[in-house]
A and B are shown apart, each in its own frame.
Chain A
Amino acid sequence: MACFIVPAAEAIVVTVAEKALEKKNSSAQVKLPAGEEKTEQVSKTGFVSKLKWLRNLLWGGCILLTFEHLWHGEIVPWFPFLTAAGDPVAKSEMLHEMATVGVTMAIVVTVAWIIMVAVSTAVEKKNAASKRAREK
């Protein structure tokens, strides 16, 4: 009915957080030692690019699910946009679906992202360790 709204809300939060982190990282300045005035930019942390994975997963899924809801006539291009919102019984059913299916969708996508980040971090650490071993 409107389960995609929960991951869409998470997608908005993730996008805002990602933009804020990106801004913070790009504006972060490092002062050089010995009183030098020249500053240099800090490179982006890997976390921001990993946060983009979650953003893309959530937005991608939400866009395609929105289309599915349009297909089934659960969303309309006029107010209140959700067909279930007009009827009190359907509305409570919709809210129940959002609380169960919607929340689970958001959790599953986030858990999948956490697994991706964990695997990627482990691979990066392994590569760095083997590089250090080769250099010695």
Chain B
Amino acid sequence: MTLLITVIAAAVCTVIWYKNAPDDKFKVSTLCFMFWGASLMWFVDAVFEYAELKAAYFTPAPEDMLNDTFLGLSVIALALVIWIAILLIKDPKKVLRKDK
């Protein structure tokens, strides 16, 4: 579930980035890289888990699924916070660091 949520977030971010490309003023590409990087890593983790559990991998316990959903949403929230921090530090619109 975490992998699924992260892949969806990565796809949405990529579409937003592509819509504005080549302009990347708001550093959406950073968010894309973060989500795609995590998606690839969790995909590898999922493949290893599938090799171990076989078909049982696709029928998780409801409690585990709920926990994974919360984790996926928390991961998105964390990535957004990191992205906002990067955006404010870089300050592309020069709102926080106006040249005098």
Q: Residues of A with Cβ closer than 8 Å to B?
A: 3-4, 7, 53, 56-65, 67-68, 71, 100-101, 104-105, 108-109, 112
Chain B 2-16 interface 0/1 with A at a Cβ cutoff of 8 Å (1 = within): 100010000000000
Contacts of A7 in B (CB 8 A): 41
A85-B71 Cα distance, complex, nearest whole Å = 24
Number of interface residues of B (CB under 8 A): 25
Contacts of A67 in B (CB 8 A): 74-75, 78
Q: How far is the CB of A100 from chain B (nearest CB, A)?
A: 7
Can you pick out 18 interface pairs between chain A and chain B where the beta carbons lie within 8 Å of each other? A3-B41, A56-B33, A57-B37, A58-B37, A59-B34, A59-B37, A60-B34, A60-B38, A61-B34, A61-B38, A61-B41, A62-B37, A63-B78, A101-B48, A104-B48, A105-B41, A108-B44, A112-B36
For the complex of A and B, list the 10 residue pairs with the smallest distance between their C-beta atoms, beginning with the closest: A60-B34, A61-B37, A56-B33, A64-B38, A57-B37, A60-B37, A61-B41, A61-B38, A105-B41, A105-B44
Q: Residues of B with Cβ closer than 8 Å to A?
A: 2, 6, 29-30, 33-45, 47-48, 71, 74-75, 78-79, 82
Q: How far is the CB of A136 from chain B (nearest CB, A)?
A: 26
Binding site secondary structure of chain A: helix
Contacts of A105 in B (CB 8 A): 40-41, 44-45
- Most B C-beta atoms less than 10 A away, residue of A4, A57, A101, A109: A57
Which of A56, A63, A112 meets B40, CB within 8 Å?
A: A112
A63-B77 Cα distance, complex, nearest whole Å = 13
Contact A65 B41 (CB under 8 A): yes
**With contacts A56-B37, A109-B40 known, is A64 near B78, CB below 8 A?**
yes
A101-B40 Cα distance, complex, nearest whole Å = 12
Which of B6, B40, B42 meets A57, CB within 8 Å?
A: B40
A21-B47 Cα distance, complex, nearest whole Å = 35
**With contacts A61-B34, A61-B41, A109-B41 known, is A71 near B74, CB below 8 A?**
yes
Which of B29, B30, B40, B71 meets A68, CB within 8 Å?
A: B71
